[in-house]
Amino acid sequence: MGVMRGLRFVALAAGTLGGVYGAAYGLLTGQARRAERIIGPPVAPPHLADGVYLPDGSGPVPPAEEDGALRFAMFGDSMAAGLGVDGPDQLPAVVLARGLAEEADRPVRLDTYAVVGAATRDLPAQVEQALLNPPQVAVIIVGANDVTTLTTVPDAVDGLERVIRTLMDAGCGVVVGTCPDLGVIRPIAQPLKSIARTWSLLLARAQRKMVARIGAIPVPLADLLAPEFLARPRDFFSSDQFHPSSIGYDAAVSVLLPALCTVAGVWTGGPLPRLPVRSAVAESRRPTAKFIARLNLRFGRPVRELAQ
């Protein structure tokens, strides 16, 4: 299911709750269809540039240079896959691999398992494939498609925890880029924007708490990047107005790389990025959060984090 088609599903689900939202479901589904028309389907699959990257920034190089390479895997959805960049050198996984190689002063072997449209429930298949040659460090970016497929927050978080523990049990250090703020996407109009935004922020908050609790490193993408995407949408979004541009991906890499180098044991750049004063945690306490809790209860288990 495409992300925008999924938002139409969210809009339709809102109508099943009755009352004001039931009366407004036509408006919501109309907004989802309009956003889908503006964004359209991907014009091409994401680039792929797996291979070995050297500390001098070169790569990918022949497999003969792989001896002693640090194995780095990229898991997740279209953002992890880098959909929206103009060339392979701009892929977030490639930029991360080059940065990690420079910081570690050793070659880095990049393997990308991320798939466009993937949700948390798709991660086990990606990880199973990766464990044939287990990575030493990994980045996971996931969450947007959990929102648009109406995966409840507890179910999405439980599934992510199982995947992280599988990787950690295999000796892999894990960084998680938590769910981005879907409210920054301009083609999505109100009130559908508020629904998508609040659900994504609630999921990001729950992901972050779980990831930190089990010993991996969460990177709160919504907290750290949403202000820039809102301030400079023409620069930070690709032509589809949904996926990041190379500038947007560079911003994501700038907050993911310190965490990745930290789990690899090679970070020397000082403290990890700090959260802004106004975070997604505060935003997720808006009244719309109660409606998202009702949707979660309608389609699965309650969002217990709302009561904390």
Kindly state the percentage of the chain with pLDDT values over 90.
48
For residue 108, list its beta bridge partners.
53, 70
Q: How confident is the model at residue 105 (pLDDT cuts 50, 70, 90)?
A: very high
Q: Which amino acid is at 140?
A: I
Q: What is the CATH number of domain 46-307?
A: 3.40.50.1110
Residue in 9, 296, 287, 280 with CA at minimum distance from that of residue 148 = 9
Map out the domains of the chain as residue ranges. Answer: 46-307
pLDDT reported for residue 281: 47
Q: Tokens 């250090």 sit at which residue?
A: 173
Kindly state the percentage of the chain with pLDDT values over 70.
71
Q: Is the pLDDT of residue 164 over 90?
A: yes
pLDDT reported for residue 289: 55
pLDDT reported for residue 271: 73
Give 175-225 pLDDT, tens digit per residue: 999 999 988 877 676 767 777 788 889 899 999 999 999 999 999 999 899
Mean pLDDT of 93-112: 96
Phi first, then psi: give them for residue 51, nearest 5 degrees: 150, -165
Give 59-83 pLDDT, tens digit per residue: 898 776 777 899 999 999 999 999 8
Q: Give catalytic residues, as residue numbers.
A: 78, 240, 243
Whether the CB-CB separation of 80 and 119 falls below 8 Å is answered with no
Q: How confident is the model at residue 25 (pLDDT cuts 50, 70, 90)?
A: very low
